[in-house]
């Protein structure tokens, strides 16, 4: 079964806009009730936007950071790219520190350094062209992954997703949500369930809103309802993104992903991870080596600014968890599908 995807219908949202003078970021903290772009005029503003979750999602963070380097380049004078790279290094370090777990951020900044290393006097133009190329490549990769991942799903299936992995988290179309969009377009997916994703509610605020824009009617569930949903038989696949994929196939993703993988295995469901090859980190041997970001415990004390917890209590707020490769049925990148991922399969696909 294969149907051409109408991208005008299924790919409408753009969270990152470059004006030529500034970076405009769709403020994802205010969705779905307010659709508003924040203008970043310098690299510090981009770093703050990344840290504050104005822009979020591993690919989108990488793209935004790369545009942050372009903005920083407006403030330095350099004879060539190598000279510029040295002068831009403080700005790149500041951008890199904004979110430490998502590998795409460091990957994009490393690409900026490589481009500058061989650039001449036109280094500013070279830099800007390459950042646009990163965004274009990400969009093309997402559309490719959508087709590859959807092909694994039997017609008439129900799927569950977690966090937000759509256009809002990427250059467009999305990773895991791109597979879901493609699956719906091809008639393979009949039902889409989205977990709310506490504490920032990316599923409730972002994912269901995105799908609604495409004419897809998702069903929102509490995170704690996932195992019960799986038991009903209404879901055949859990489809998630990743912020880092290790050399052995372990993946880091939004907190709550690990428990979904455990529950999926218990109930006989399939578990798919969808992410661009830029998310693969062959220098990280396993999930044990991943630095897990922890955010302000205060994020757990309230919902929408209304306090729900008692005063003077403690909280633990890790943002990501690691899903062991043994619980993953397929990793989908734009390069292809890795079924039952392990170190040998990862090295065969991505080298050492």
Indicate the pTM of the whole model. 0.90
Going from the C-alpha of 328 to that of each of 14, 128, 268, 274, 332, the distances in angstroms are 30, 37, 12, 11, 11
- Number of other residues whose CB lies within 10 A of the CB of residue 347: 13
Which of 345-352's residues contact partners 24+ apart within 8 Å by CB, and which partners? 345/249, 346/245, 346/246, 346/247, 346/248, 346/249, 346/280, 346/282, 347/247, 347/282, 350/277, 350/280, 350/282, 351/282, 352/282
pLDDT higher than 60, residue 2: no
Instruction: Convert the pLDDT of each residue in 249-281 to its tens digit.
Output: 999 999 999 999 999 999 999 999 999 998 999
Q: What is the mean pLDDT of residues 233-250?
A: 97
Task: Please report the domains of the chain, with CATH numbers, ordered by start residue.
Answer: 7-140 (1.20.120.420), 144-350 (3.40.50.10470)
Catalytic residues: 243
Read off φ and ψ for residue 302, nearest 5 degrees. Answer: -145, 160
pLDDT at 38: 98
pLDDT of residue 11: 81
Look at residue 12 in the predicted model and tell me its pLDDT.
81
């Amino acid at each position: 079964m294969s149907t051409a995807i109408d991208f005008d219908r299924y790919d409408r949202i753009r969270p990152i806009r470059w004006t030529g003078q500034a970076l405009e970021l769709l403020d994802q903290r205010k969705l779905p009730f307010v659709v508003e772009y924040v203008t970043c005029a310098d690299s510090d503003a981009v770093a703050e936007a990344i840290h504050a979750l104005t822009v979020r999602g591993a690919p989108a963070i990488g793209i935004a950071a790369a545009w942050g380097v372009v903005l920083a380049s407006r403030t330095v004078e350099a004879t060539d790219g190598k000279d510029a790279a040295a002068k831009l290094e403080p700005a790149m370090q500041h951008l890199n520190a904004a979110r430490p777990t998502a590998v795409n951020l460091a990957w994009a900044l490393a690409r900026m350094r490589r481009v500058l290393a061989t650039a001449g006097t036109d280094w500013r133009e070279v830099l800007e062209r390459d950042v646009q190329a990163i965004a274009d490549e990400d969009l093309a990769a997402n559309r490719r992954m959508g087709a590859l991942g959807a092909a694994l799903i039997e017609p008439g299936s129900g799927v569950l997703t977690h966090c937000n992995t759509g256009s809002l988290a990427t250059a467009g179309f999305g990773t895991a949500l791109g597979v879901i969009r493609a699956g719906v377009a091809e008639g393979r997916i009949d039902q889409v369930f989205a977990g709310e994703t506490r504490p920032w509610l990316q599923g409730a605020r972002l994912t269901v809103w995105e799908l609604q824009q495409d004419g897809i009617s998702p069903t929102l569930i509490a995170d704690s309802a996932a195992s019960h949903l799986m038991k009903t038989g209404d879901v055949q696949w859990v489809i998630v993104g990743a912020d880092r994929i290790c050399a052995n196939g372990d993946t880091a993703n939004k907190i709550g992903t690990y428990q979904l993988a455990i529950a999926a295995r218990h109930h006989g469901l399939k578990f798919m991870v969808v992410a661009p090859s830029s998310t693969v980190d062959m220098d990280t041997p396993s999930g044990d080596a991943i630095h897990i970001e922890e955010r302000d415990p205060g994020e757990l004390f309230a919902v929408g600014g209304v306090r729900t917890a008692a005063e003077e209590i403690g909280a633990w707020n890790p943002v990501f968890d690691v899903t062991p490769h043994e619980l993953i049925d397929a990793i989908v990148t734009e390069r292809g599908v890795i079924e039952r991922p392990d170190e040998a399969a990862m090295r065969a696909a991505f080298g050492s």
